[in-house]
Structure formats: C-alpha cells, structure tokens
Amino acid sequence: MKNKNLLATIAVLAVVVVGGIFFSTKKDMKKEAGQTDVAKVGVLQFVTHEALDEIYRGIQDGLAEEGFAGDKINIDFMNSEGDQGKIATMSKQLVANGNQVVVGIATPAAQGLASATSDLPVVMGAITDPVGAKLVKSLEKPGANVTGVACPQPIGQQLELIKKLTPKAKTIGVLYSSNEDNSKLNVEKFTELAEKEGYTVLAYPVPSSNEIASTMAVMTSKVDAIWVPQDNAIASAFKTVVASNKEAKVPIFPSADTMVKEGGLASVVVSQYGLGVSTGKMTAKLLKGAKPAETPVDVVDQGAPIINKKVAAELGITIPEEVEKAAGEIVE
Ligand code: TRP
C-alpha cells in the first residue's frame, strides 16, 4: 500500500516535471519563432535632402506593400549626413546589429555597406550607375551580396528638353560635387553627348557645399544654361544654388523632380518616391530568401518631363505647347 502511494506520487511528480519542461520549451520555441517573425532591416541614408527623404518614405511603403509593416518589421535607420567617417562606422554598426538585410540610400552609402560586409545582403537604393561605382559586376548577374535599384538618368531626353526650352543656348555649365562617383560618371556621359550636339560644356566641380555660392557667381556669367546631375551635395544645398542665381537668371536643368520643385526650370525624371517603393520591394524579396548574386538589378529609367512654370515665368521663357502637353508634371 505504502509503495503504491509512493509510486503514485512519483508518477504525478514526473508528469508535472516533464510537462513543465515541455511547456517551457514550447514557450521558448514560440518566443524564438516570434523573434524571427520580426524582420530586421538596416538602412543607411547618405545625407538629408528632399529626394533621399522621399526615397526612404518609399522604401517603408514598398516593404509594407509586401507585408513588412507595423510589428512585422524593425528598421534600424541611420543617416551619415554626408560624412565619410560616419559612413564607415555606421556601416559596421548596421552589419553588426543583427540586421538580415541592409539598404544604402545613394552611392556613397551603398559603397560603405558593401565594403563592411561580403555576406550580408546589401540593397542599393537609387544608384545612378552600380557597375561604374563598382557595386556589382553586372546588372543582370550581380554576382555577390549586392543588388538593388538603379536609376540611370535619361540624359538624352534631358538634353532634348534643354534644346526645346532654351534654343539659343550654346554654352552649358555643369555643377556637381567632385567627391561623388555617381556624378562623375554622368557628367562624362552628358559632356560627350552635348559636345556631339555642338554645345560647349564647362564643368564646375565643387569640393564641398561651402563653394557652391562662389562657384555659381563665376559660372552664371559664363554659361547660357546649367545642368545638374543626380548629385547629393548639390541636391542638399539646392536652395543656395537657386538663391545664387537670383540676379543672373540662368535656366537650371537638374536631374530630379524634387530639385525642379525647389526652383529648377525643368527636367526629365523618374519619381523619387517610386524609386523608394521599388527599393523596398527588392528588400522584401531578399528578406524572403532571394539571393542577391542571382537577383538582377531593377533598372528604373522611364522618365517623364517635369516643368516649373513659375520659374519659367520668372526667366521669361515660354513653354512650347507640345512640351507642356508631354509633361508628366507641371509645377505652378
Ligand atoms: N542617384 C544618386 C546616387 O547614386 C542618389 C540620388 C537619388 C539622388 N535621387 C537623387 C541625388 C536626387 C540627388 C538628387 O548617389
């Protein structure tokens, strides 16, 4: 009898203990599964300006469209504010923080992340020329841990627009930063094309945004029109560019809708927000397991004209009807 009781007690205890272990491991497993349910994405934005801010908004919406919204995602966001030293340290941090995918907005940020890791997937956000910037081997087959969204500017169409809006222009000045690979490459392409069409192109590289006002003062006296590539330093100081042109009134043709809205005359552009959405979707694809090496770069290059009519009026330029009709957006 005594033995029976003892056995019963042991049996009950065993059930409690085993059950307890089972229950607690189940709880742990649940917790672990819960943790992997939250996607971890690191984002490094090169600098603050309208276009890159809009791209970041688009990235969040693109991720959300693919199901990574609310408590399903944790975005570890950093902004290097144009500082090369910060790019290096922040890239290392984002790689070390346990993110599953890291995204670089603008060329210098993507380059920083790519040199901080050779295995974590890196997404390029709105990069002018990924091959030229040595971020991927080819657009079709990136080959390593980097892929993303490229936005080569429609330079031919931009030059056509310059011809239509300023038919008397002979000399075009090019304003850009001497530190950005994305600008150097496009300036070369633009110069080649414009010279072929008979224009004289004068290049004005600036080493920092502190030199923009003085460079503009010299440049505006020598050129009939100004072209600006997708340059981050110029974009972040675009108000200075416009202000330094107040007296000279030279038509400015930048390479982003945001810069036209801020006082440029016109351009042929792709939407910055749309570039962000595409980048967000690409990030979602990699989170779901796609391999960057075999994921082709998404090239977004179908631009539409945008015209700032207020600026046109200030400059005394009449927009030809056919140009206005073809415009995707008119800023009044
Ligand atoms: N394409 C730029 C780069 O590769 C980044 C960029 C995207 C940008 N949109 C822009 C720069 C608009 C200036 C203006 O770095």
Say whether both 129 and 57 belong to one domain. Answer: yes
Identify the pLDDT of residue 31.
Answer: 43
Instruction: Count CB atoms within 10 A of the CB of residue 290.
Output: 14
pLDDT grade for 283, boundaries at 50, 70 and 90: very high
Q: What value does the mean pLDDT take over residues 293-321?
A: 95
In a domain, 20, yes or no: no
Identify the pLDDT of residue 84.
Answer: 93
Residues 202-207: contacts with CB under 8 Å, at least 24 apart = 202/171, 202/172, 202/173, 202/174, 203/173, 203/174, 203/176, 204/173, 204/174, 204/175, 204/176, 205/176, 205/177, 205/178, 206/175, 206/176, 206/177, 206/178, 206/233, 206/234, 207/177, 207/178, 207/179
CA distance 162 to 11: 89
Of all residues in the chain, the percent with pLDDT exceeding 70 is 89
pTM: 0.87
Q: Which range marks the domain in which residue 226 is found? A: 155-269+304-331
Q: What value does the mean pLDDT take over residues 195-209?
A: 96
Say whether both 164 and 264 belong to one domain. Answer: yes
Say whether both 185 and 146 belong to one domain. Answer: no
Say whether both 134 and 43 belong to one domain. Answer: yes
Whether ligand 1 lies within 6 angstroms of the CB of 51 is answered as yes
Q: Tell me the CATH number at 114.
A: 3.40.50.2300
Higher pLDDT, 31 or 232: 232
Whether ligand 1 lies within 6 angstroms of the CB of 127 is answered as yes
Say whether both 173 and 291 belong to one domain. Answer: no
Say whether both 236 and 205 belong to one domain. Answer: yes
In a domain, 13, yes or no: no
Name which residue sits closest to atom 8 of ligand 1, judged by CA: 230
Q: What value does the mean pLDDT take over residues 53-81?
A: 98
pLDDT grade for 302, boundaries at 50, 70 and 90: confident
Gap from CA of 268 to ligand 1 centroid (Å): 14
In a domain, 25, yes or no: no
Say whether both 191 and 47 belong to one domain. Answer: no
Least reliable range by pLDDT among 7-11, 79-83, 292-296: 7-11
Say whether both 117 and 51 belong to one domain. Answer: yes
Gap from CA of 17 to ligand 1 centroid (Å): 61
Of 318, 322, 331, 330, the C-alpha closest to 160 is 322
In a domain, 45, yes or no: yes
Identify the pLDDT of residue 330.
Answer: 95
Identify the pLDDT of residue 34.
Answer: 42
Name which residue sits closest to atom 4 of ligand 1, judged by CA: 127
Say whether both 185 and 264 belong to one domain. Answer: yes
In a domain, 22, yes or no: no
Say whether both 51 and 107 belong to one domain. Answer: yes
Gap from CA of 15 to ligand 1 centroid (Å): 64
Among 47, 50, 52, 103, say which to mutate for ligand 1: greatest number of ligand atoms within 8 Å of CB: 52
Identify the pLDDT of residue 33.
Answer: 43
Say whether both 147 and 169 belong to one domain. Answer: no
Q: What value does the mean pLDDT take over residues 167-188?
A: 94
Joined together, the tokens standing for residue 229 give 């590539």
Whether ligand 1 lies within 6 angstroms of the CB of 126 is answered as yes
pLDDT for residue 246 is more than 80: yes
In a domain, 17, yes or no: no
Q: What value does the mean pLDDT take over residues 58-85?
A: 97
Number of structural domains in the chain:
2
Say whether both 130 and 211 belong to one domain. Answer: no
In a domain, 322, yes or no: yes
Joined together, the tokens standing for residue 104 give 């670089």
Write out pLDDT tens, residues 18-35.
555 555 544 444 444 444
In a domain, 4, yes or no: no
CB distance 311 to 265 below 8 Å: yes
